[in-house]
Amino acid sequence: MEVYMSFVKENVILSAIIHFAILGTFGEILSKWVINKSFRYPFGFVMTLKKMVIWALLGVAIKYTFVGFAGNSGGNDGFVNALMNHNFLPKVSHDSFLFAFFVSAFMNLQFGPFLVIVHRVLDNIAAGQSNWKGINKGLYCLLWFWIPAHTVTFLMPSDLRILMAAIWSLALGILLGYFNRK
């Protein structure tokens, strides 16, 4: 665990790329397995690489967004801190449930729709098609899944948040597969 934590602290962006490239892609694979009720590998080699690149890019965007909304650990920067400093939100401790909820809610309501749309655009480019079916489900996930999930994420130490977000992506893949199964 110590080696892992050291790697994450020293390689902030690279670790986000690795976490999301592996876990985000695996979440899509699990989703397809659940949907199709089959463990047959759902993608070809090239599509798997494309999905890993897409998830890696999303991982970088998510890492930047986490810092932008929550600030650095122990710091007084970040969007939610700025709102508290200007008395737009009550001043709460950075390790409190309310702070985690504020960060999660603002992040998912402001950045979340953009990320959902960009993710779909990238998926469409990778697949060479224009598929917007079910985009509303992706947007609704921000409310019923991502706000609660990221509230838990922002209760964790900052060095573990990206890993937790990638794990949530994997969990959401399973859930969406279950809801969309044939």
Domain boundaries, the chain: 2-179
Which pLDDT value is given to residue 1?
86
Model confidence over 79-137: pLDDT tens digits? Answer: 999 999 999 999 999 999 999 999 999 999 999 999 999 999 999 999 999 999 989 99
Model confidence over 2-38: pLDDT tens digits? Answer: 999 999 999 999 999 999 999 999 999 999 999 999 9
Cα 159 to Cα 167: distance, rounded to the nearest angstrom: 14
Query: How sure is the predictor about 180, in pLDDT bands with cuts at 50, 70 and 90?
Result: confident
Q: Is there a contact between 42 and 32 (Cβ–Cβ < 8 Å)?
A: yes
Of the candidates 43, 139, 45, 161, the one whose C-alpha atom is nearest the C-alpha of residue 94 is: 161
